[in-house]
Amino acid sequence: MRYRKFGTSELQVSEVGFGTWTLASDWWGVVEDKRGMLDAALNAGITFFDTSPVYGDDGLGESLMADFLANHRDEIVLTTKCGYDISANRKTKGQSERPHDWRPESIREQCESSLKRLGIEYIDLYQLHNARIEPILDDDLWAALEDLRTDGKIGEIGVALGPAIGWVEEGLEAIRRRPICSLQTVYNVIEQEPGRTFVEESIAHGSKAGMISRVPHASDALSGRVTRETVFPPSDHRSHRNRDNMLDNFDKADTLAFLWEGTGRTRGQAAIAAILSNPNFTNVLPTCVTVEEIDEYAAATEFPLTPDEIDAVEALWSTNFGVTNRYQMKLKASR
């Protein structure tokens, strides 16, 4: 495993992180040995663990980590998130959201509740979860976050964009206006926007924010775990994805075979290595549902892309991988 710092901050993390959404929900399948997965990640050199109180119900994404943290707190960088009202009902379809509550007093209460569920005294990185433009521009909210930092409840502040691809204004304004340590966004070798735009703005603005890649395997189009013929159960979020969009991604993935054929990399490792070839991306959060996937993806840092491979990927990107899209992606936006 290799390690990087978030932008110009002092927060150093493993290049491959671990997200607990697969442990707390069934959107990607069912994981039986949750603690075993956490232990396997740490044993593989992963030090960055990403969770949220809305992964699962009743804060499960955090509470399931309490025992693990009790034994390994000083070995890891822990990030959780704020913004959602976890007492509100969630719709059952796909990745539907609970309502947000960005009131400053609510954010403090959410932080205290997270600390209690996690069984810890401070959070290394506190991310605004799927924030729209209003909380990004809310000075009172950011003053409350700074108060939490002053009180020693949180270390660094970040923004996690989603759940869908987009939110360009939110990301740009966070970079321009706020002292964020990280910006988490959907980014993979196929779906590079708006990540590329965020990187350009971060460099131009001199931001200390490092980028976190979410969905690095393009919902498994790049991992080899599924095929065009795979039928997903209703609980799997991919059963609600646009079919043409997924087919487009499979077509694009086919053009990247030179990254894994005869290179010693697996498909999944190649996808991660391609992201990490951009030094502005601090780390990658792959979706892992087995210990074998953890070991495979963690080892991706051992197989960096060559300069020629990086150039070849860039050339493919510039031509949309030679694919005529069936589906015209529209980036999500608040306004």
* Res 267 pLDDT > 90: yes
pLDDT tens per residue across span 211-245: 999 999 998 899 988 877 777 676 666 656 777 88
Coil vs helix vs strand at 193: coil
pLDDT level of residue 208 (50, 70, 90 thresholds): confident
Residue 134: the pLDDT is 98
pLDDT in tens, 110-153: 999 999 999 999 999 999 999 999 999 999 999 999 999 999 99
Nearest to residue 183, comparing CAs of 288, 273, 272, 280? 280
State the pLDDT at residue 326: 83
Q: Please report, for the chain, the start and end positions of each structural domain, with discontinuous segments joined by +.
A: 3-322
Q: Which of 43-57, 90-104, 130-144, 284-298 has the lowest mean pLDDT?
A: 90-104
User: What is the DSSP code string of 261-273?
Assistant: TTTS--HHHHHHH
Taking the C-alpha atoms of residue 57 and residue 74, their distance in angstroms, rounded to an integer, is: 27
* pLDDT grade for 94, boundaries at 50, 70 and 90: very low
How confident is the model over 321-331, as pLDDT tens digits?
999 988 888 88
Q: What's the pLDDT score for residue 228?
A: 76
Phi/psi region, residue 127 (left: phi>0; alpha: psi -120 to 50; beta: rest), is: beta
Whether the pLDDT of residue 91 is over 70: the answer is no
- Spell out the residues 6+ positions from residue 93 whose beta carbon is closer than 8 angstroms to its own: 240
Pick the CATH number of 3-322 from 3.20.20.100, 3.10.290.10, 3.20.20.150, 3.40.50.720: 3.20.20.100
Q: Any idea how long the chain is? A: 335
Is the pLDDT at 95 greater than 70, yes or no? no
pTM for the whole thing? 0.93
